[in-house]
Amino acid sequence: MGGQVLNGGCLCGAVRYSVSGVPVDCGYCHCRICQRASGAPMVAWATFPLGSLDIIAGDPRAYASSAHALRHFCARCGTPISFRSRHSPTHVDITVASLDDPSLLPPQYHIWTMSQVPWLKVDDRLPRHSDDGPDRLP
């Protein structure tokens, strides 16, 4: 993970963004809210300082997925783009798979494995946390 500028966007192309700088961290989330919001068994997130994210095109809609969190997505095609929480107001998470090249940000851990779907077999050696894990923000 370096300090390059990464580009990404939604499925239909209405939302385009760039992120710059070094991600604080990157990991898989197996929580039920991510599962429901994405329709997928888990979501890979990369965390950046808030100012690193630039929305270049489109106007992502926000959904309050809990009392402290907003999830932004393309209003046209529904692609999840980003996550913000009052618990870490200086940072934003982006969905790694919405990057043009998701291979550039390999996840480093798993969180909320208590709700990992049992048929999903993960044989990597990454750290696993049953809850949200240790605080990784600086």
Strand partners, 94: 46, 82
Q: What type of residue sits at position 4?
A: Q
Minimal distance in Å, beta carbon 79 to Zn ion? 5
**How far apart are the C-alpha atoms of 10 and 98, rounded to whole Å?**
6
Q: List the structure tokens of 126.
A: 């990454």
Size of the residue set binding Zn ion (CB under 5 A): 9
Minimal distance in Å, beta carbon 80 to Zn ion? 11
Backbone angles phi, psi at 113, to 5 degrees: -70, -10
Rounded to 10 degrees, what is the CA torsion of 62, 34, 28, 120?
-150
Check residue 31 for interaction with Zn ion (CB under 5 A). yes
- Binding string to Zn ion for residues 8 to 27, with x set by CB under 5 A, is what? --x-x-x-------------
Site stretch for Zn ion (CB under 5 A), options 31-39, 81-89, 93-101, 120-128: 31-39
Minimal distance in Å, beta carbon 13 to Zn ion? 6
**How far apart are the C-alpha atoms of 21 and 6, rounded to whole Å?**
9
**Residue where the block lists tokens 């990464």:** 6
Minimal distance in Å, beta carbon 20 to Zn ion? 22
| Options 24, 34, 37, 105; binder of Zn ion; rule CB under 5 A | 34
Nearest Cα residue to 114 out of 135, 131, 127: 131
**Residue where the block lists tokens 């790694």:** 96
- Binding string to Zn ion for residues 51 to 80, with x set by CB under 5 A, is what? -----------------------x-xx---
Q: Which residues bind Zn ion (CB under 5 A)?
A: 10, 12, 14, 29, 31, 34, 74, 76-77
